[in-house]
Amino acid sequence: MSEPNPAPASSTTAPLTAAAPDRPPAVEFRDVTKIYGPGTPREYVAVSHVSFTIPDVVGHGEISSFLGPSGCGKSTVLRLVAGLEPQHPPTSGSVTVLGRPVVGPGADRGMVFQDYTSFDHRTVLDNVVFGLECRGVPRWEREAEGLEWIAKVGLDPGRDARKYPHELSGGMRQRVAIARTLILRPRIILMDEPFGALDPATRLDMQDLLVKLWREVEATVLFVTHSVEEAVYLGDRVFVMATTPGRIAEEIRLPAASAPARETQSQPWFHEQVNALHARVERIEAEARRVNGAVD
């Protein structure tokens, strides 16, 4: 998400910030195809010939939304960036992060999933500092930093730090997951429909929280969503994906939202962008159905 723009422009407006010309992209896909079970009766092409570049914007970062129907390969794209099996490695093509080929998971990337991934036997504080513990950070230091991050994500360090995951609401558990990821300050943050299971009001709160924390850590965010409204509010750019096989159908630049989610979603320009993107998505999906019907 770019800095606040006083007059939202069209979806083709150039960004207000740019990557330094001598810096490699934050994330780059070059003609990436992923096939599960190649050469078997269960062969399935998850994504086909996917290419895109997300710049590394110095001192800022960007949020890129990946939007599309179920089965279009959005999660496969994220897991290829994360270096997680069985999605990694690609069947063909290359995936690079900050100019280096992805060979597996790395400290430069952090991932937040849709399901509330926590260690049930660990307290909130112990969950948040788990990565620092793995890095060998002394207990007093990691707990002090953990309490700071618990507060940053809107939880009460005094009341919530010693609770266990089963004592938390869904929104609270997702806040813990975000704190556990961001405390490590990864350069790339991968978010796979992290707010999809939340109620609408909590979802808006979490969108605002993400924008606030993203500005602090200045990371590049790849955000998978089914929601056009969420994609428009969060995204500097939206990659619209089509299915069978999964592919990038269109890349769209978006103007910045300069107000909290609730206020932004009441503004005329926001509704115009949402309606335009809905129309594009419907057109892309209709074309995919037509092509697939012709092939069948």
* Residues 6 or more apart whose Cβ sits within 8 Å of residue 207: 195, 230, 233, 234, 261
> 32 with 51: CB under 8 angstroms?
yes
Would you state the pLDDT for residue 243? 86
The pairing of beta strand 220-225 with beta strand 63-67: parallel
Residue ending a domain, choose from 185, 210, 234 = 185
Does 16 lie in the same domain as 150? no
Residue ending a domain, choose from 137, 167, 185 = 185
* Residues 6 or more apart whose Cβ sits within 8 Å of residue 140: none
**Residue 18 in tokens:** 């740019």
Residue ending a domain, choose from 139, 167, 185 = 185
Partners of 27 in beta bridges? 54, 97
Q: Which domain holds residue 197?
A: 1-108+189-296
Per-residue pLDDT of the chain (296 residues; tens, 9 = 90+): 544 433 333 333 334 455 556 789 999 999 999 999 888 988 999 999 999 999 998 777 899 999 988 888 999 999 999 999 999 999 999 999 999 999 999 999 999 987 667 788 899 999 999 999 999 999 999 999 999 999 999 999 999 999 999 999 888 999 999 999 999 999 999 999 999 888 899 999 999 999 999 888 889 999 999 999 999 999 899 999 998 789 999 999 988 777 899 999 889 989 999 999 999 888 888 877 776 665 54
Long-range CB contacts (within 8 A, 24+) of 95-103: 95/27, 95/28, 95/29, 95/30, 95/32, 96/24, 96/25, 96/27, 96/28, 96/30, 97/26, 97/27, 97/187, 97/188, 98/24, 98/25, 98/26, 98/56, 98/187, 98/188, 99/24, 99/25
Which CATH number fits the domain that encloses residue 32?
Answer: 3.40.50.300
SS3 176: helix
* Residues 6 or more apart whose Cβ sits within 8 Å of residue 202: 170, 171, 195
Does 211 lie in the same domain as 82? yes
**Residue 28 in tokens:** 């780059």
| Distance of alpha carbon 234 from alpha carbon 229, whole angstroms | 9
- What DSSP string runs through 225-251? ES-HHHHHHH-SEEEEEETTTBEEEEE
- Domain count for the chain, please give it: 2
Does 229 lie in the same domain as 88? yes
Does 93 lie in the same domain as 139? no
SS3 295: helix
**Residue 185 in tokens:** 């300050």
Does 62 lie in the same domain as 2? yes
Does 29 lie in the same domain as 171? no
Does 217 lie in the same domain as 89? yes
Does 149 lie in the same domain as 8? no
Does 146 lie in the same domain as 211? no
**Residue 190 in tokens:** 């991968």
Sign of the Cα pseudo-torsion (270, 273, 279, 284, in order): negative
Does 221 lie in the same domain as 206? yes
8-state DSSP, 191: E
Does 76 lie in the same domain as 205? yes
End-to-end CA distance of the chain: 40
Helix (H) or strand (E) holding 27: strand 27-36
Does 229 lie in the same domain as 287? yes
